[in-house]
């Protein structure tokens, strides 16, 4: 779309709507809103507006739709696919003042929150009432619930508890036209008409602005225990994880780290990792209501994994021991950044049984392009975080090599029955690859949906589709 320059009259109208203090127009003030956590992507908006009420969002959207001004909704800016970057300029609509938890409702097992509430704060508020909001993106201390809905965020607990979508029960939204709707509410069931609410979940801020969210909660399992299990090969770790499930044990999390990832964490933390010689580590968390069942489960796991050449099973029951074994996994992103400040992070997903073959293909890609690839992720649901490390490679070689490598990687992933993003979304950076993962008829249908919701193409333009 053509990027419309915002004139003084429009800027004044924005100030009239939200107050002068909440419209940013100076470059220094706008700079933090020009980017998210995506590498090498930045675009200055004409203005940043910070509304505090749904009514203000509605008037801004009416203004934008009359004047045909691009609007990019923004949560906490932790996105990894450029979703909150205003690639067509216009207005960044920062929801940061929508930061209140409105209700934790133990009778209905529901939480009602504004979109800028930080995910961890919602989890803590639920826990204070003995309740549990399971979705746990690794960024949970800095990302917002609104961004989680827009991206349908997942995390380690997705294997047992599902992703953000599975907890979404109600939304208040402002459509691109400025009209306001409430979808769903505090009911688990709702089949009244098309399920627009769940269509918005994962729509990356391209169909509506989210201004209020109702989420399902669970009772908090009181006990949990962590196991660190080293294996001599990735294939052994994958087969053992499948065997655990086949024995009817569903861990809360089943994470894995390949050896290169463990060594990077070791260098970053400056401490020796346990079982550093192992090619793969499984990190299993069990949760439940009574100690005896948990002990029975982990003893059973001990027997199962020994059939798959496990080198040991480290059981951590108290907080310090558990923190020690999660420390490596939690620092992984920082450890890899320390290893190579420039790196490409992908979050492909394949059927779990295809993980060994994915790793074989990653090795081929690494040799073919003479570049280090380091991976870790959620073995339970087949979601692998693949990091292509620039390290000492010259910038021009990196820029020439990366698109070719990614094209090969994504084709491999799709051939294995997977898809190109399990968590981070398509956003701006992956849109050229979307046709590899979605067939032409489905892609055409998605574009028609976008046009039906946003006929003028003003809401988060330049995202998802080429």
Ligand X SMILES: Cc1cc2nc3c(=O)[nH]c(=O)nc-3n(C[C@H](O)[C@H](O)[C@H](O)COP(=O)(O)OP(=O)(O)OC[C@H]3O[C@@H](n4cnc5c(N)ncnc54)[C@H](O)[C@@H]3O)c2cc1C
Q: Which residues make up the interface to ligand X (CB under 6 A)?
A: 36-37, 72-80, 83-84, 95, 115, 137-139, 143-144, 146-148, 150-151, 153-155, 204-205, 209-210, 333, 423-424, 460
Distance between CA atoms of residues 424 and 81, nearest Å: 6
Q: Minimum CB separation from ligand X for residue 222, in Å?
A: 25
> Count of CB atoms within 10 A of residue 26's CB?
8
Q: Minimum CB separation from ligand X for residue 55, in Å?
A: 15
Cβ atoms of residues 38 and 81 within 8 Å? yes
Report the residue number whose CB is nearest to ligand X: 147
Q: Minimum CB separation from ligand X for residue 149, in Å?
A: 7
Decide whether 148 or 340 has the Cβ nearer to ligand X. Answer: 148
Q: Minimum CB separation from ligand X for residue 397, in Å?
A: 26
Q: Minimum CB separation from ligand X for residue 32, in Å?
A: 11
Nearest residue to 275 (alpha-carbon basis) of 288, 285, 265, 290: 265
Q: Minimum CB separation from ligand X for residue 200, in Å?
A: 8
Decide whether 35 or 369 has the Cβ nearer to ligand X. Answer: 35
Decide whether 239 or 424 has the Cβ nearer to ligand X. Answer: 424
How wide is the angle at C-alpha 429 spanned by C-alphas 381 and 448, nearest 5°?
85
**CA 78 → CA 118, 141, 151, 187, 425, distances in Å?**
11, 10, 11, 30, 12
Decide whether 139 or 253 has the Cβ nearer to ligand X. Answer: 139
Distance between CA atoms of residues 248 and 245, nearest Å: 5
Q: Minimum CB separation from ligand X for residue 34, in Å?
A: 12
**CA 83 → CA 2, 102, 202, distances in Å?**
19, 26, 11
Decide whether 74 or 352 has the Cβ nearer to ligand X. Answer: 74
Decide whether 65 or 139 has the Cβ nearer to ligand X. Answer: 139
Distance between CA atoms of residues 31 and 170, nearest Å: 33
Q: Minimum CB separation from ligand X for residue 392, in Å?
A: 24
Decide whether 77 or 418 has the Cβ nearer to ligand X. Answer: 77
Decide whether 165 or 300 has the Cβ nearer to ligand X. Answer: 165
Distance between CA atoms of residues 144 and 102, nearest Å: 15
């Amino acid at each position: 779309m053509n990027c419309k320059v915002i004139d003084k009259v429009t800027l004044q109208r924005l100030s009239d709507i939200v107050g002068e203090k909440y419209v940013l127009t100076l470059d220094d003030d706008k700079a933090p809103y020009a980017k998210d956590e995506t590498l090498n992507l930045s675009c200055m908006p004409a203005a940043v507006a910070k509304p505090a009420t749904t009514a203000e969002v509605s008037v801004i959207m009416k203004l934008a739709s009359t004047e045909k001004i691009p609007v990019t909704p923004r949560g906490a800016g932790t996105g990894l696919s450029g979703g909150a970057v205003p690639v067509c300029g216009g207005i960044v609509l920062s929801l940061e003042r929508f930061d209140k938890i409105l209700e934790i409702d133990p009778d209905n097992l529901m939480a009602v929150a504004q979109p800028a509430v930080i995910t961890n704060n919602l989890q803590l508020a639920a826990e204070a009432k003995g309740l549990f909001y399971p979705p746990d993106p690794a960024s949970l201390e800095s990302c917002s619930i609104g961004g989680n809905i827009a991206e349908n965020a997942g995390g380690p607990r997705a294997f047992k508890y599902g992703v953000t979508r599975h907890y979404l029960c109600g939304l208040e939204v402002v459509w691109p036209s400025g009209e306001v709707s409430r979808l769903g509410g505090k009911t688990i069931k709702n089949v009244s008409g098309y399920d627009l609410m769940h269509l918005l979940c994962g729509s990356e801020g391209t169909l509506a602005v989210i201004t209020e969210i109702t989420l399902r909660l669970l009772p908090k399992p009181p006990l949990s225990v962590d196991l660190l299990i080293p294996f001599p090969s990735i294939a052994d770790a994958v087969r053992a994880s499948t065997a655990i499930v086949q024995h009817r044990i569903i861990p809360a999390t089943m994470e894995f780290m390949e050896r290169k990832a463990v060594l990077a964490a070791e260098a970053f933390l400056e401490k020796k990792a346990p079982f550093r010689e192992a090619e793969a580590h499984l990190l299993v968390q069990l949760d439940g209501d009574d100690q005896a069942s948990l002990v029975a489960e982990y003893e059973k796991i001990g027997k199962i994994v020994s059939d798959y050449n496990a080198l040991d099973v480290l059981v951590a029951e108290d907080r310090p021991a558990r923190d020690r074994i999660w420390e490596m996994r939690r620092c992984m992103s920082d450890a890899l950044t320390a290893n190579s400040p420039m790196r490409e992070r992908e979050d492909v997903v394949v059927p779990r049984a295809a993980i060994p073959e994915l790793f074989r293909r990653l090795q081929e890609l690494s040799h073919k392009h003479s570049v280090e690839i380091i991976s870790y992720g959620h073995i339970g649901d087949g979601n692998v975080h693949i990091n292509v490390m620039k390290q000492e490679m010259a910038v021009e070689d990196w820029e020439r090599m990366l698109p070719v490598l990614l094209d090969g990687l994504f084709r491999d992933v799709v051939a294995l029955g997977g898809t190109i993003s399990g968590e981070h979304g398509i956003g701006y950076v992956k849109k050229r690859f979307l046709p590899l993962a979605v067939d032409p008829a489905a892609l055409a249908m998605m574009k028609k949906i976008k046009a039906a919701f946003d006929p003028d193409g003003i809401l988060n333009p330049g995202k998802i589709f080429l």
